A and B are shown apart, each in its own frame.
Chain A
Amino acid sequence: SSELTQDPAVSVALGQTVRITCQGDSLRSWYATWYQQKPGQAPLLVIYGKNNRPSGIPDRFSGSTSGNTASLTITGAQAEDEADYYCNSRDSSGNHYVFGTGTKVTVL
């Protein structure tokens, strides 16, 4: 299966740490990439590869993988981190891609 499953929603208190998980068989072969999407905006790449951040992404965002589960951690969440987050991976063929179901993060 090429499905990637995420929790629909999580909440975090301002300044605290939140972890968003993504589960799927393809994650045993390929690293997940993570995207942030705010209402009315295009997605934004926040993590790729083992744990790499594009230029301009704050270092409070980090990624990790264990077995078939990838995680995105926001350490010291800020109000501007409130958004939908999607994981993505290649499938077993390596030629197709699949997005996770998405997680809505609310910063309290």
Chain B
Amino acid sequence: QVQLVESGGGVVLPGRSLRLSCAASGFTFDTFGMHWVRQAPGKGLEWVAVTWYDGSNTYYADAVKGRFTISRDNSKNTLYLQIDSLRVEDTAVYYCARGGYSNGWRYFDYWGQGTLVTVSS
């Protein structure tokens, strides 16, 4: 069965960096695009970034472009999100999600349970 397990969250000071990981299993990792989605406490979902199945292309939400870097290691079935210059407003649960596809449609068909990042002094 498909499993996505995030790790790396915690409490960090503003301006510091953090790397989140998402360990994938139960499917052929290197044939799927992968996404990060975040949710601030009590707020809605916000798409953050996507990496194509082979890492050849990455795209970011305007709110995080330049500070966040999505990457993947297909040999380790692992997705990453490097977050630099953390801001208080980056406080959120960060989910990784698989990029499902069929008939040209794209969607997030499996999600991890999320990892909480709290940015506070």
Contacts and interface: CB of A to CB of B under 8 A. Distances in A.
B35 interface: yes
Interface stretch (B22-30, B44-52, B66-74, B84-92): B44-52
A98 B63 CA distance: 12
Interface SS majority for chain B? strand
Interface stretch (A15-23, A42-50, A66-74, A75-83): A42-50
B95 A49 contact: no
A43 B44 contact: no
Interface SS majority for chain A? strand
B114 A99 contact: no
Interface in B26-60: 35, 37, 44-47, 50, 57, 59-60
B35 A45 contact: no
A48 B100 contact: yes
A102 interface: yes
Interface size class of B (residues with CB under 8 A): 20 to 34
A101 B47 contact: no
A37 B107 CA distance: 15
Interface size class of A (residues with CB under 8 A): 20 to 34
A35 B108 contact: yes
B51 to A, nearest CB: 11
B45 A86 contact: yes
Contacts of A45: 100, 107-109
A101 B108 contact: no
Contact of A97 (B50, B111, B113): B50
A48 B112 contact: no
Contact of B105 (A48, A95, A100, A101): A48
Interface in A29-62: 31, 33, 35, 37, 42-45, 48-49, 52, 54
Given A49-B102, A97-B35, A102-B44, A44 B111 contact: yes
B75 interface: no
Nearest to B43: A102
A49 B103 contact: yes
B35 A42 contact: no
B11 interface: no
A45 to B, nearest CB: 5
